[in-house]
Amino acid sequence: LAKTTQPISMDSYEGQEVNITCSHNNIATNDYITWYQQFPSQGPRFIIQGYKTKVTNEVASLFIPADRKSSTLSLPRVSLSDTAVYYCLVPPGRSSNTGKLIFGQGTTLQVKP
């Protein structure tokens, strides 16, 4: 499974846009890029998933360049409640019966007032 590298921590202020970049140099053709969010003492929660180019939902956007060796999670106008750990993962796609998740270290985002 592809290994991911992301910053250990980031700080931001309320109302700013936050971009978290993840490196996955050995991503396989069949792998997708998935982001989860985890608050303290809770289970992770799915945020967004994509294969290429750009994906947007009501929470975030995911930008994936053509070579797919990195991706950027974009959180628009963060609030204090977005303070959490954000995990970038690359589970195998359509040829796999289960999207097994191997978590890396994650990025701890601290949003300040």
Partner 1 sequence: DAMVIQNPRYQVTQFGKPVTLSCSQTLNHNVMYWYQQKSSQAPKLLFHYYDKDFNNEADTPDNFQSRRPNTSFCFLDIRSPGLGDAAMYLCATSRGGGGGPYEQYFGPGTRLTVT
* Residues forming the site for partner 1 (CB under 8 A): 32, 34, 36, 41-46, 49, 87, 91-106
Q: 19: closest CA among 60, 79, 67, 69?
A: 60
Minimum CB distance to partner 1 smaller for 34 or for 71: 34
Q: Considering the complex, state which of residue 81 and residue 94 has its C-beta at the smaller distance from partner 1.
A: 94
Q: How far is the CB of 104 from partner 1 (least distance, A)?
A: 6
Neighbours of 45 (CB within 10 A): 12
From 20, 16, 12, select the one nearest 48 (Cα to Cα).
Answer: 20
Q: Smaller CB distance to partner 1: residue 64 or 91?
A: 91
Smallest distance, partner 1 to C-beta of residue 72, A: 20
